[in-house]
Amino acid sequence: MKNFVENIKENQNELKRLLPAEDILYYAFQTADKTNCLLCYADGMVNKELLGQLIAKPLSFLYLAEEKKSQNDPTMYKPSADLIEKTLRFPELKRVTDFQDAIKEILDGNTLLLIDGLEIGFIAGAKLLPVRAIMEPPTDVAVKGPREGFIEDIKTNMTLVRKRLKSPDLRMDTLRVGKRSDTAVVVCYLDKTVNDKVRQNIAKRIEQIQIDAVPDSSYIAAFLAPNEHSVFRRIGTTEKPDVFCAKLAEGRVGILVDGSPIALTAPYLLTEDLQSSEDYFISPFMATLMRLLRVFAIVAALLLPAFYITVQLFKMQLVPLGLMLTIASSIRELPLSPSMEMFVVLLLLEILKEASIRMPKYVGMSLSVVGALVLGETAVSAGFLSTPAIIIVAFSGICMYTVPAFVETGSILRWLFLLAAGSLGPFGIILFAVFILYYLLSEESYGAPLLAPFTPLIPHDLKDSFVKYGLRSLATRPVFLQSPNKTRLRAKK
Amino acid sequence: MSQTSSTKNNAVSARQIAFFAAFILPVYKLVEAPSLLAAYAKGDLLLPALIHFFSQLGVIIALLIAASKSRRPLMERLQEKLGKKLLIFYGFYAVYYLFAAVLPLLDLEKLVYAAFYDTAPTLFSFGAFFLLVAFVCTKHLRSVGRFADLSVFLFVLPFLALIIMSIVETDFSSLLPFFERDLTDSLTAVSKTTAHFSDAALLMPLLLHTQYEKGDSKKILGGYGVGAGLTLVFLAVFYGVFTTVAPREHYAFLKIAQYFPALSVIGRIDLLFSYCICAILFFCTCLPLQYATGCLSTLIGEDKRPWIAAAIAFVSFLFTLFCNRFYDSIYGLFGGVFLPVFIIGCNTLPSLPSLLFLKKKNKKEKT
């Protein structure tokens, strides 16, 4: 690790050698007594006006020579770092002694100030990164409640969190991940509320990550999950600061990653997917109803296509005779088998879904017309597909989006259920369901069983699971989090 | 595997054992036992069931007495007391549980073909079940406890729904007069259905590994009482619905609600409730094999557990594939020649720990 030397030219040459990129700019200027100064920064990442007003201008009026005269031995003179700090009065100014630290700061958007005759440099926090405005996250829209969403800038995200949790207990430990990206990963938690074992475990795992670059928080989530070959998530995600803060206040650990609008939370329970931030802003009765509706919707989304082919192929008794006859008449002259038909319709749905996400918005409308109306209608009238199959898949698709966080996992499971039903009928569905259940009940996310509070049964935590009790009933923190501070609400009933 | 991780993997709470006794143990008794009891007891099917429950209750109480002597799990104390002799116990129970899995497997195969298919399924359709067996067998007792928690949600509502739907067509007078038929018929029914009521053997591994707390006995016995009560209610309703044709009505819980009047309009939703119970039944059938894997991995080595699980799943698959045609003969053997195996494995051996620790207490008391 090489340190700065007194000669500014040597320092500049070394910097140029270590940072040969063209977007690294050098601005040389002199103080009033002709002492050479140099600013080094990454183009487009700093507030140049601020640099000019708060660094270059004050220094250009500074007489370091007068300082020289006041020294007892003029030959031993070195410009005083203290004097420069006093002169600059820059809000974020720190000293660096070696090139490695300085380069790290420059690449992070800060500015290095070097002064001839000084063996140290100064880092000025004049970062001005291009960020987008705070908006409502598209994946987590709420009718009631806060609408702010995280953005890609970690400082803004940290501010959004701090704005909501004005507690000295809120800690934000910054870690750096990525050999090349050197991405800031901030572990947020409320001291005395979080389970320290969980926090330490998460921090340890993040520190152990050896990777080139971290483009998004999902990269960190992959390393935090104990089993990377699972279709189920082990880490909660949210784009909303209010949800993030509520989870921190419950005793969870939150993780913000620079460059990602998606924050991570742990420990994570499967029931979290069924909860919406809005549940906490509406009446508990309505919230319970909505949650039960989501459970029903997820079950329908996963099982309906599988159930449909099961009814046709293996167990007709499961639907009333009248309905069975309607289905039978609509599939009478189909060229495809029920399983193949359902496979094709589901494939169409997935393709349409993928295309509608990727396509430019102005093409999206035509895609809906072509996809849903033309393709569906003509396929039925041409006798390739049956109307019930399209209805079933469309309903399943809609149901899946009642729980956006579960879409990824749900889509995979729906295919697997379809496969099980097509090959083994209702036996396959039940067998696969038991398999998943048995798999899930032995899985954990940082000490919290994935299926808690249902198994292991935690009666207290059932108050905020499929049902939602009133706020006063949720006076203590969830038991599964093992928080050292159990009480979160003191209110007389 | 270290003692600590083994304890953690096998940790079950008294509540989980109570749920296990209340909502998992009754499930296998809803398959073939009702028709067998009705056939052998000539309609007085409650008496043999009660005899079974009381005999099992005695064994469970004996185990609980032994467990209540210390807060440490009974298994740890047995290991201390018996040392390497305990391996014989493991060896016996590995064989016993494999043995105990035979009838549930054969019953389940037939039930699957009857319950899930209108058409004739291929012979290998049931083979997929053994993938589940292999997976379940790799897990420890903690998973059993957690499944017991889930069984509350899977069992209670479907069971109540089935009972409510079938009670409409139930003629309870067909059960009368209670306990008036020939006692030898009841005893024959007891002997022929011993394999279906081997509750103590299924509870034993859980009771051996639980850390006993004050009041746990009440919970566990209460759970067993609930399970027994639900089974008796089911048997009564079953006989009330089918009366004299009950001996021919196999896979009772699938058929019990089929006469509910609204089914012709809304479809066989009773089957959906039955399927929920089937989910527990699948687990129930895996259970003896899971226990057998546990015993064998203690003998051979915990690191070899996945291989043992795979081997057990494969052997049981082959057994089911080749022996399903000898279903009646196997049933005959299990109700006759092999009966002592169940009496030893389910009634005699599980009572021994209580004798061992009672004796110790007496000695201490004398000193």
Q: What is the pLDDT of residue B70?
A: 83
**pLDDT tens digit string along B185-227?**
888 899 889 989 999 999 999 999 988 888 899 999 999 999 9
**Backbone dihedral angles phi then psi of residue A236, each to the nearest 5 degrees:** -75, 150
Higher pLDDT: B77 or A254? It is A254
* Chain A environment of B153 (Cβ under 8 Å): 454
Residue B3: inside a domain: no
Give the pLDDT band of residue A434 (cuts 50, 70, 90).
very high
pLDDT value for B364:
47
Are A315 and B117 in contact (CB < 8 Å)? yes
Inter-chain residue contact A320 with B265, CB threshold 8 Å: yes
Residue B23: which CATH number?
1.20.1740.10
Determine, yes or no, domain membership for B290. yes
| Mean per-residue pLDDT, A188-202 | 93
Scanning every residue of chain B, which has its alpha carbon at the shortest distance from the alpha carbon of A449?
A: B146
Q: Identify the band that residue A332 occupies on the pLDDT scale cut at 50, 70 and 90.
A: confident
Q: What is the pLDDT of residue A412?
A: 95
CB contact under 8 A, A457 and B15: yes
Rounded-to-integer distance, Cα B268 and Cα B116, Å: 12
Check pLDDT > 80 for residue A456.
yes
Say if B1 falls within a structural domain: no
Which residue, among B8, B16, B149, would best test binding to A if mutated, counting the most A CBs under 10 Å from its CB? B149
The residue range of the domain holding B163 is: 10-366
Please tell me which residue of chain A has the smallest CA distance to B141: A442
Please write the tens of the pLDDT for every residue from A411-429.
999 999 999 999 999 999 9
Residue type, A351: I
Distance CA B14, CA B203 (A): 11
Q: What pLDDT is stored for residue A415 in this prediction?
A: 95
Q: Is residue B215 part of a domain?
A: yes
Q: Is there a contact between B22 and B236 (Cβ–Cβ < 8 Å)?
A: no
The single-letter code of the amino acid at A198 is V
Q: Is B239 inside a domain boundary?
A: yes
Query: Do B264 and A426 make contact, defined as CB atoms within 8 angstroms?
Result: no
A315, A433, A457: residue with CB nearest B116: A315
pLDDT, average across residues A139-167: 90
Chain A residues touching residue B149 (CB < 8 angstroms) = 454-457
pLDDT band per the 50, 70, 90 thresholds, residue A363: confident
The distance of A318 to chain B (nearest Cα, Å) reads 5
Burial class (CB within 10 angstroms; exposed 0-12, middle 13-18, buried 19+) of A180 = exposed
Residue B365's pLDDT is 43
Under-50 pLDDT residues of chain B? 1, 361-367
Alpha helices in A23-107 (DSSP H): 48-51, 57-60, 64-70, 81-88, 99-107
**Kind plus residue range of the DSSP H or E element containing A30:** strand A24-30
Name the token pair of A170.
């809120």
Residues of A in contact with B282 (CB under 8 A): 430-431, 434
Does the structure show a pLDDT above 80 at A75?
no
- Spatial neighbors of A31 by CB under 8 A, at least 6 apart, are A37, A59, A60, A61, A62, A63, A64, A115
What's the pLDDT at B360?
A: 52
Residues of chain A with C-beta less than 8 angstroms from the C-beta of B272 = 318
Mutate to test the interface with A, among B17, B109, B116, B136 (most CBs of A within 10 A): B116
Residue B5 lies in a domain: no
The span from the CA of B187 to the CA of B47, in Å, is 9
pLDDT of residue A77: 55
Band of residue A244 on the pLDDT scale cut at 50, 70, 90: very high
The pLDDT of residue B228 is 96
pLDDT tens, position by position, A387-407: 999 999 999 999 999 998 899
Per-residue pLDDT at A86: 82
- Report the alpha-carbon angle B248-B283-B146, nearest 5: 140
Tens of pLDDT along A286-314? Answer: 999 999 999 999 999 999 999 999 999 89
Total domains present in chain B = 1
User: Which among A317, A425, A434 has the least Cβ separation from residue B271?
Assistant: A317
The more confident residue out of A366 and B197 is B197
Please give the pLDDT value at position B7.
67
Average pLDDT along chain A: 88
Residue A91, preceding peptide bond in cis (omega within 30° of 0): no
Within-domain flag for B135: yes
Least confident span in A109-123, A137-151, A361-375, B173-187: A361-375
User: If pLDDT is split at 50, 70 and 90, which confidence band does A53 have?
Assistant: confident
- CA-to-CA distance for A239 and A254, rounded, in angstroms? 12
Decide if pLDDT at A64 tops 80.
no
Flag the least confident range among A19-23, A368-372, B345-349. A368-372
